[in-house]
Amino acid sequence: MNKHTPVLFLLLLPLALLAQPEVPSAMPAALRMQGKAQRQALQERSLVSKIPFRSTGPSVFGGRVADLDVNPADPTHFLVAYASGGLWKTSNNGQSFDPIFDSELVMTIGDIAADWQRNVIWVGTGEVNSSRSSYAGAGLFRSTDGGKTWQHRGLAESHHIGRVVMHPNDPNTLWVAVLGHLYSPSSERGVYKTSDGGENWERVLYVDDTTGAVELLLDPGNPERIFAATWSRTRTAWNFEEAGTGSAIWQSEDAGNTWTRLSTPASGFPSGPGTGRIGLAATQDREGKTRLFAIVDNQNPRPAEKEKDKAGLTREQLRGMSKDGFLALELSSISTFLKDNNFPEKYTATGILDKIRRGDIKPADLVDYLEDANSRLTETEVIGAEVYASDDGGRSWLKTHEGYLDDLYYTYGYYFGQIRVAPGRPDKLYIFGVPVIASDDGGKTWSSIDAANVHGDHHALWISPDRSGHLILGNDGGINISYDGGEHWIKCNTPPAGQFYYVAVDMDKPYNIYGGTQDNGVWFGPGNYSASVEWHGEGQYPWKSLLGGDGMQVAIDSRDNVTVYTGFQFGNYFRLNRNTGKRVGITPKHEVGERPYRWNWQTPIHLSSHNQDILYMGSNKLHRSMNQGDDWQAISGDLTGGGRSGDVPFGTLTAIHESPLKFGLLYAGSDDGALHCSPDGGNTWRDISAGLPRGFWVSRVQASAHVQGRVYVALNGYRFDDFRSLVFSSDDFGASWQPIAGDLPAEPVNVVKEDPVNPNLLYIGTDHGVYVSLDRGQTCMLMNHQLPATPVHDLVVHPRENDLIVGTHGRSVYVADIEQLQSLTDTLLQQPLAMFDIEKTRFRAGWGNKRSTWSEKVSEPDIAFPLYSREAGRAKYTVRAGELVLYSQETDLVAGLNFPRYNGELGEKSVSSYERHLNQQKKKGEEALKLEPGANGKYYLQKGNYQLTVERGRFKVESSFSIE
């Protein structure tokens, strides 16, 4: 479909017809913009809208920061925008933060701008870093009350916004750098301007449909003079071209109405197809003259160095070497090559010589063994980061340094691309990369200001214009503040903003939650923990790190709860003991002479529930180990479409699962839309993708734990900018498929899970939240009480504790008690009122008193009465001891599950009769009890058993509870 297709026509098309193209197409913004209203409707009809979620962290490692905005009059007040974790505000120098953008259409942010005097905040949505999980935004949002309320202000088709710049004197004039779609061509790119606060927008700079604007900068001495940087880049699931001829620096002298390209071949600034992302900065010197700086990701190859004499073999030598040439090599030379390139120990120099002599392999096969699709990305020698300066408004440029700025960008400069200059100090520069480095001499020499407490991968920096050395830094690990120019940093990571890819649980008591995170490794922590800062005093953070890198999937052997299988990107997996820290690499290796296996960024693993010595792992084939990963067997051929040329592995397995009901009933799905089933442990495979939309990423396949032939699959079009929610089910092992969850908004689906207790209950995680279905996907409802609308990548139901664990990609981990939800069967749903078991409450003598001498908080019980009401309405609950009425209260019930709270207090008229009742229960000789009120004047229930009655109209239910 294209952006010109009428919206009404799209809404009327059957799902099957919409899904036919081999390559999915970008979805028009008009359909996505309906998402918030659709979510609201699914919340209003939800029977589960009152089930509370609890944030369990972690917060200690932070998450990817996209931008900062600091109050110039008081830098203890600032805003932090996270890539997918929303917008947060602090008024106490980062000691605590409050989220202020949690309920909008999207939570992903590219850039923010604030007018602190007028209390105006602009949010340009859609992260600009073009990462694998850089979610598409929905345009501009504005708040005129400091973030309490928001209005959408246009540019819905922008997807990714690089910069939002306000006119310093006119709050209604705004310029926006729109990078545009990440995974598809689009004409809605370039620089946009509004002069009426976003009522109307004019595109004032446009290059082409794959080149967007990534940077904007006002001349500090003249707000009518504007500089912009455009960036040519195309990304697909299999390749990323991060440079092009459209990448350039531009200038406008008339407030953005007309533009001139500055970075021409004659200017001295790089131009041409190897020009990547550009960042800009400017300041005025003491004479008031503007000096302009730029950093560029130069993707041109480095000039070839003169060949040096080398004692050992090189890959280039082997590529063209003949058989006879190889046989003439010395054994020591071959051994050194094998060792230096980490060949498995089974490959010896003698053995390789024998294989070459017999013709089993060729010398070039040794090179092929080492190279995969990712090699093009990680091993290509490019010029990388370069810094340039201009003193004539950008007409001419000089590189500020000699040589290369190595170990800054590596091969992924597209992820950074920003430069800062200290206000009024043209010699003080900062550039961002894996470290953040600074220069005191205008860019001639550089040194790192990373230090203890600072994560790598930097994206935002504020430099105080008033206090030298005062910096606020944003990176993939959250927020750091320094007052001495980066020699020392404090970490301000109270927001639980981690980007989880996957979560898992063990069967320990209390159980632990495990998860892999973007750029912050693999962690585990107790499932009963609630995120707080109390650990600062205790000295032990409850969550612990297991592994570094980009943390991926996790499986735990429940027989000991310490054997963990996990890893980092592109299939680098380990078996480790979380108590001792010992780890063993377990990734299956291909044979010399075979092409390398293709491993997905998030390689899927699965531990068999039938025998936990058996582990499955997916490359482009399915691998099985019968001995905890020590040895592997490929139990399939290539289960994908065969891969595609590019610098990202593609044609990889993305989802695998074994039926809990039958050993060896296996399912495997791929990134190119292939889905296969094996009924016999991998001996035979059947393609079961017929009837499903073609070409979509299989984000999850889930075999039922209730019906052997039942299986669910979620498909995801995010990497084509197709945002439809696609979920299907089959009751015949995938021979036929039925679309389900058809009432979901246009939100890509990352996970579908079946409840282990209730066969009709499904959980669905999308890029904007959690949905549940009580009828196997025929209808859905939103489940979001105290859960922000952040991307949900994984869902797990703990089989013993009946908790739903939610792994979000932006707000860490949430937990909800779903015991009552699991009880919502068809029979119970027909009842007008139904009560559930009430948890026991522990008696405390101090109820009604202050928690401490100097605290105003009063200690009280908090007793929840879980109940189901078929209809909304006013209800009354009454607490009794036998026939004695102790307390009565009216409450409003919603249709569905309700959790009215009771603080254990007595009604004033029942105190004396309750005291007599308690004394009548005492044994002969026991001292009589005299009830005393708390400091707040209230009387509270004592230890004992009590009855509860709930009445709604003519319907009444009863239950009991106890205080021990």
CA distance 654 to 618: 7
Q: What is the pLDDT of residues 837-872, one digit of tens each?
A: 999 999 999 999 988 888 888 999 999 999 999 999
Could you give the CA distance from residue 92 to residue 700 in angstroms, rounded to a whole number?
A: 42
What is the DSSP-derived secondary structure letter of residue 307? P
pLDDT at 60: 92
SS3 string, 737-781, reads CEEECCCCCCCCEEEEEECCCCCCCEEEEECCEEEEECCCCCCCE
Do residues 387 and 419 touch, judged by C-beta distance below 8 A? Answer: yes
Q: Quote the pTM value.
A: 0.94
Percent of the chain with pLDDT over 90: 89
Three-class secondary structure assignment of 701-730 = EEECCCCCCCEEEEEECHHHCCCCCEEEEE
Which pLDDT belongs to residue 32? Answer: 93
Q: How far, in Å, CA of 142 to CA of 125, rounded?
A: 11
Q: For residues 677 and 686, is the Cβ–Cβ distance under 8 A?
A: yes
Percent of the chain with pLDDT over 70: 96
d(CA 627, CA 614): 6
Residue 68 to residue 857: CA distance in whole angstroms: 35
| Structural contact between residues 881 and 921, judged by C-beta atoms closer than 8 angstroms | no
CA distance 249 to 245: 11
In whole angstroms, give the CA distance from residue 158 to residue 212. Answer: 10
The confidence band for 419, taking pLDDT boundaries of 50, 70 and 90, is very high
- Across the range 175-198, mean pLDDT stands at 97
How far is C-alpha 589 from the geometric centre of its chain's CA atoms?
30
pLDDT band, residue 5 (cuts 50/70/90): very low
pLDDT digits (tens, 9 = 90+) for 888-930: 999 999 999 999 999 999 998 999 999 999 998 888 888 888 9
Does the pLDDT of residue 195 top 80, yes or no? yes
The pLDDT of 678-695, averaged and rounded, is: 97
Q: Indicate the burial class of 668 (C-beta count within 10 angstroms; 0-12, 13-18, 19 or more).
A: buried
Beta bridge partners of 752: 764
Q: Which residues in 326-433 belong to E strands, given as ranges?
A: 382-390, 398-399, 419-422, 425-432
| Cβ contact 153:139 at 8 Å | yes
Q: Give me the chain's average pLDDT, please.
A: 94
In contact, 503 and 509? CB cutoff 8 Å: no
* Residue 393 CB burial class (10 angstroms; 0-12, 13-18, ≥19): middle
pLDDT score for 923: 81
Which residue's structure tokens are 């707040």?
A: 936
